[in-house]
A and B are shown apart, each in its own frame.
Chain A
Amino acid sequence: MTYLVLALLFIAAAVIAGAAFTRAAFARPPFAGKDGAPGERGRHWKAVGLAFAALAVLTAVFDSVMIGLELFHYDPAHILGLRVGLAPIEDFAYPLAGVVALPGLWVWLTRRSRAPQPNLKGLVPQALLASRPVSWINTAYPFAAAMLLTTREIDWVVIVGTFYFLIPYNLAMYGINDVFDYESDLKNPRKGGIEGALLQPHLHRPMLWLAAITNVPFLVVLAFAGGPAAWVSLAVSAFAVVAYSAAGLRFKERPVLDSLTSSTHFVSPAVVGLALAGANVTPGLLILLAAFFLWGMAAHAFGAVQDIEPDRQAGIGSIATVIGARRTVRLAVVLWLVAGLAMLATPWPGPLAAIIAVPYIINCAPYWNVTDTTAARTNVAWRRFIWLNYGSGFLVTLIFILQWSLTS
């Protein structure tokens, strides 16, 4: 390929981008008001022309100087041979592409400083706060542990993936949730009406954009790093994040599906990690994942009990509103019990993890006979959860270290 063809390709890209940005920047209705869009747009292209004229002169002079001083040169077979001074004519493509595309991007980016400005202040802090930093580890840990225990080394995939499941993943999960819960939060007396609703409507669209922008690149990179198993698990993971709360799907309002989806939020990072690491699928591994999944379902179901009253008032369904507080608590306890027993069937040192089920069962057993009217009291036990989870994480880590030392 010659320099000319290369330059034309990049100029074409620049022209398309420049035209698109300019169009988008000046197509906004606010511009049509005072000044009229044609005037703005005309001045934009005039300024581009003036800037290019100046750049062309500068290029002719300084490119010649730079080539004269032997800073760089070109393979003669690849250039037309037409020169301005010492500068090959193709070198003017650089400033041309820059001046066509970049001012367009600039006017598009700064259009809001002239148009009435949606106030994005507080979006990022609010998104971070809403994403519950205290729980970030709950999704990053399963991924990191699954990958590390399989590959036994820290490579870039471990680092990128752990970061993804630490922050962007949680941003998306809770960000999407806050946007689509806005309506029901407004109706929910427990959430304090308008003041209690976390995310103001003007931030809804930016929040969804933030979720997309922070997630899609990571998903693409991780998909790139793995094979079909990773693609499927990443797709399931991302789907569960969206489907849980997004309008139209709202899995969180579909009894049983709500607990299944919620548990997927925590188990799927581990599955992605295993897929990326190319783990061997053994019965022990499947039992471990199943136990983890049951643990997650139990956690979700029990968490729903405290909200029975407000959820019913707001007309929201959940596993707890459908089968009632008592049966939900009992179901959760049974799920934890089964999860613990399942661990006993895994290869050593897996059975040690069975003990982790005990504190959860003890924490919830007092509510064995809870009624729908006393359901709100389970909030006390729910708040102990976070700390129980940290304790469990600690025990799990010890078991992993033991496993590591036994197998290396």
Chain B
Amino acid sequence: MGVLYLGSLLLGIGCMLLLDHRFRLFFWRDATAAAIVTAVGVLFLLAWDLAGIGLGIFLRGEGTIATGLLIAPELPIEEPVFLLFLVLCTMVLYTGARRMLERIPARQREREKENA
């Protein structure tokens, strides 16, 4: 049971990468830029976590589906993995939404402009 959460996160990350691969959205479009965005995103959110932990706002649970391994006080090993998933999910959603919006025929966009 201890690895259920970590396993689910990794599975989620795998699914995001499959979507990315299938539609050439993020890493499969510009690997360098994607790597930078991912690193910046994870570090930013991790800093937020650490600030919350430092201020005594965030508390780790004793859930049985977590490994219980800590990389810092109150910071389980799953957290950076979760943040990685969140960043990938965010970017796949955003790049996917951009793709969909670009597919809207130009004519329709002009109509929108006229209406606006």
Contacts and interface: CB of A to CB of B under 8 A. Distances in A.
> A interface, by DSSP: helix, strand, loop or mixed?
helix
A51 B33 contact: no
Interface string B49-90: 001100111111111111000000000001000000011011
Interface of B: 5, 26, 29-30, 32-34, 36-37, 40-41, 44-45, 48, 51-52, 55-66, 78, 86-87, 89-91, 93-98, 100-102, 109
Interface residues on A, range: 35 or more
Nearest to A13: B44
A191 interface: no
Contacts of A10: 44, 48, 51
Nearest to A2: B57
B91 A74 contact: no
A48 B65 CA distance: 33
Contacts of A69: 5, 61, 63, 65
Given A2-B57, A44-B98, A95 B37 contact: no
Contact of B91 (A66, A79, A102): A102
A376 B97 CA distance: 66
Q: Which of B48, B61, B96 has the most CB of A within 10 A?
A: B48
A110 interface: yes
18 contacts: A6-B48, A6-B51, A6-B52, A6-B55, A47-B97, A50-B101, A51-B96, A55-B89, A58-B89, A72-B58, A72-B61, A78-B57, A94-B45, A94-B86, A95-B90, A99-B94, A106-B94, A106-B95
Contacts of B98: 43-44, 47
A105 B86 contact: no
Contacts of A13: 44
